[in-house]
């Protein structure tokens, strides 16, 4: 049994990996639902009468946003594919590590998608200039980065251990996630 973090939690390496994997899949479920919902709304926009009124810049923003959304969905579904492909092969540590990386990439893609979607909507508001729309969208992306990414980066700073403070038996051969 290994102590895996603050407090008295004691779990075997297998129990720890099962817990980490379960937590990761729950996190993916939450973020994937948000990405899919925004993506569906973006798809619906193309079938509205106002879509034909979009200028070239707005169409480019729309396409970029749509591509970020499709990519985010693909990246966030990837941990499930990994799990299906390696289940029962003793690769849970690697699967959890890759799943964690892909989930982080999906969150970054979602951040870009939300920023572009907001920019697209704000540019269509007559009372808001294009510059103001860009500033507001950038401010929102900055605020979301402060919430979604900065706290984790600060917490990880200087920490080279595995998630939850545990270590993998082969840490000598593995780099930090």
The residues with which 104 forms a beta bridge, in sequence order, are none
Q: What's the Rg (C-alpha) of the chain?
A: 20
Question: What is the model's pLDDT at position 161?
Answer: 58
pLDDT tens series, the chain, 177 aa = 555 555 567 788 888 888 888 888 888 888 888 899 999 999 998 899 888 888 999 999 999 999 999 999 999 999 888 888 888 888 888 888 899 999 999 999 999 999 999 999 999 899 999 999 999 999 999 999 999 888 888 888 866 555 544 444 444 344 444
Q: Where are the domains of the chain?
A: 13-153
pTM over 0.85: no
Q: Which DSSP state fits 162?
A: P
Question: What is the model's pLDDT at position 166?
Answer: 45
Calculate the CA 156 to chain-centre distance.
17
| Burial of 35 (C-beta count, 10 Å sphere; 0-12/13-18/19+) | buried
User: CA-CA distance, 55 to 53, in Å (whole number)?
Assistant: 6
Task: At 123, list the tokens.
Answer: 């540019």
Question: What is the model's pLDDT at position 90?
Answer: 81
């Amino acid at each position: 049994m290994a102590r895996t973090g603050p407090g008295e939690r004691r779990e075997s390496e297998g129990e720890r990996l099962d817990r980490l994997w379960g937590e990761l899949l729950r996190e993916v479920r939450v973020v994937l639902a948000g990405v899919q919902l925004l993506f569906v709304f973006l798809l619906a926009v193309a079938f509205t009468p106002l879509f034909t009124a979009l200028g070239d810049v707005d169409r480019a923003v729309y396409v970029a946003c749509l591509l970020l959304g499709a990519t985010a969905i693909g990246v966030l579904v990837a941990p499930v594919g990994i799990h299906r492909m390696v289940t029962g092969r003793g690769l849970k540590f690697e699967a959890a590590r890759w799943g964690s990386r892909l989930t982080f990439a999906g969150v970054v893609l979602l951040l870009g998608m939300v920023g572009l979607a907001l920019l697209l909507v704000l540019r269509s508001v007559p009372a808001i200039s294009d510059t103001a729309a860009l500033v507001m969208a950038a401010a929102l992306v900055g605020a979301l980065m402060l919430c979604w990414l900065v706290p984790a980066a600060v917490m990880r700073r200087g920490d080279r251990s595995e998630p939850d403070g545990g270590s993998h038996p082969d840490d000598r051969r593995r780099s930090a996630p």
